[in-house]
Amino acid sequence: MSKELIRLIDCSMAFDDEIVLDSINLSIKNEEFLTLLGPSGCGKTTTLRIIGGFLQATSGDVLFDGERINDVPPYQRKVNTVFQRYALFPHLDVYENVAFGLRLAKLPEQEIDDRVTEMLEIVSLKGFENRSISQLSGGQQQRVAIARALVNRPKVLLLDEPLGALDLRLRKDMQQELKRIQQTLGITFIYVTHDQEEALSMSDTVVVMDRGRIQQIGTPEDIYNEPENAFVADFIGESNILDGIMLEDYVVKFFGRKFRCLDSGFEPNEPVDVVVRPEDVEIVSPEEGQLTGTVTSVTFMGVHYDTIVDFHGFKWLIQTTEHHNVDEVIGIRLGPDDIHIMHRSEYSGMFGDYSSYSEEYDEMNDPDLYPEDLSDESSDLEEETAEEGSET
């Protein structure tokens, strides 16, 4: 079965005074496709580079096959990397680039030729041996980089946002191809990306990170259906996140109404974050609805309409295939499996309202919106909603 291949124990990384990784604990199994997912600056690339040996953790241990490898340099690790900008050697052609690692290992010429030819075939670059790097397209360079890494038969392949520079359709094709290669060769892939769709479609395990900490580890389905905090809920897909109170197991109250849900294990009357996915909301007439609200904007997205609805001053995103008019009053119904409950965290109150899609837009319009010290802000909000809760 699958055994543990890599383990990070309490790894922290600090650059001067800045803490980039805060006590990361991670276990990576043999033959799994694991993705480190998060916004830029969350520490995912740093984690990857620590595993690769290009950075040394300020504290903590990195174990490979049970052995501590903190001090082992990258050229001695059984790990290879596919770099974000490919890092192909310009003075060598495709063949020599791919053969580079094999030549260093001083393998016999015939074996080098066999393995390089085989690998070029796997990445669909047969016949490209003599091309110079500058003559290749982005996608082709990408595949040379992959071939160059894999030809050395490493136990682990590290991929640092390798598909970022490709256009959309090619990216989707390459995602499938990478997954296929990984499963065929049975190599552990550790993949870094900020694109959550990419992470969900390729991975066996997703590790969501923010600000140097792991927010959640799970399968793609788990991460999507059962996010553990507001950050994960907001980062993966679109989410409406509301303040609510867990009255008792399976019963939550928000907007002054009680709703049945599927979650349990919370304290009675615990303030919680409530997640409702836009595609799970059923629109009905105002009389039939559990809640009523006013439509404030409708955007045609092709597959569905992005409909922004105002409920008591809080804007929801509802994705529906029917068109509704602006200023129309509508009702909504939520079934128990449409509602997901999360514990409150430092992220509560930061996400989930659809006055705008992005933080940056909010900031642009109101520079005082997100003051420097975020910890003060969330505690203010908690006090507010606690008062609200006691009123209703």
Q: Which residues bind another protein (CB under 8 A)?
A: 52, 54, 73-75, 79-81, 83-85, 87-91, 93, 95, 100-101, 104-105, 113, 129-130, 132, 148-149, 152
**At 182, which amino acid appears?**
Q
DSSP string computed for 89-158? -TTSBHHHHHHHHHHHTT--HHHHHHHHHHHHHHTT-TT-TT-BGGGS-HHHHHHHHHHHHHTT--SEEE
**Closest distance of CB 80 from another protein, Å:** 6
Sequence-separated contacts (24+) of 295-303 with Cβ below 8 Å: 295/324, 295/325, 295/326, 295/327, 295/328, 295/329, 295/330, 296/326, 296/327, 297/326, 298/323, 298/324, 298/325, 298/326
**Closest distance of CB 217 from another protein, Å:** 26
Q: What are the strands of the beta sheet with 67-68, ordered from one edge?
A: 18-29, 4-15, 59-64, 67-68
**Closest distance of CB 141 from another protein, Å:** 12
**Closest distance of CB 86 from another protein, Å:** 8
Cα end-to-end span (Å), the chain: 53
Q: Which is nearer to another protein, 103 or 323 (CB)?
A: 103
Q: Which is nearer to another protein, 141 or 240 (CB)?
A: 141
Give the separation between CA 51 and CA 7, rounded to whole angstroms.
9
Q: Which is nearer to another protein, 95 or 266 (CB)?
A: 95
DSSP string computed for 203-228? -SEEEEEETTEEEEEE-HHHHHHS-S
Q: Which is nearer to another protein, 130 or 264 (CB)?
A: 130
Q: Which is nearer to another protein, 83 or 250 (CB)?
A: 83
**Closest distance of CB 168 from another protein, Å:** 25
Query: 209 near 36, Cβ under 8 Å?
Result: yes
The contacts of residue 184 (CB under 8 Å, 6+ apart) are 122
**Closest distance of CB 148 from another protein, Å:** 7
Q: Which is nearer to another protein, 24 or 149 (CB)?
A: 149
φ/ψ (deg, to 5) at 276: -130, 120
Q: Which is nearer to another protein, 96 or 195 (CB)?
A: 96
Of 121, 115, 127, nearest to 135 by C-alpha is 127
Q: Which is nearer to another protein, 74 or 139 (CB)?
A: 74
**Closest distance of CB 36 from another protein, Å:** 18
**Closest distance of CB 95 from another protein, Å:** 7
Helix (H, G, I), strand (E, B) or coil at 46: helix
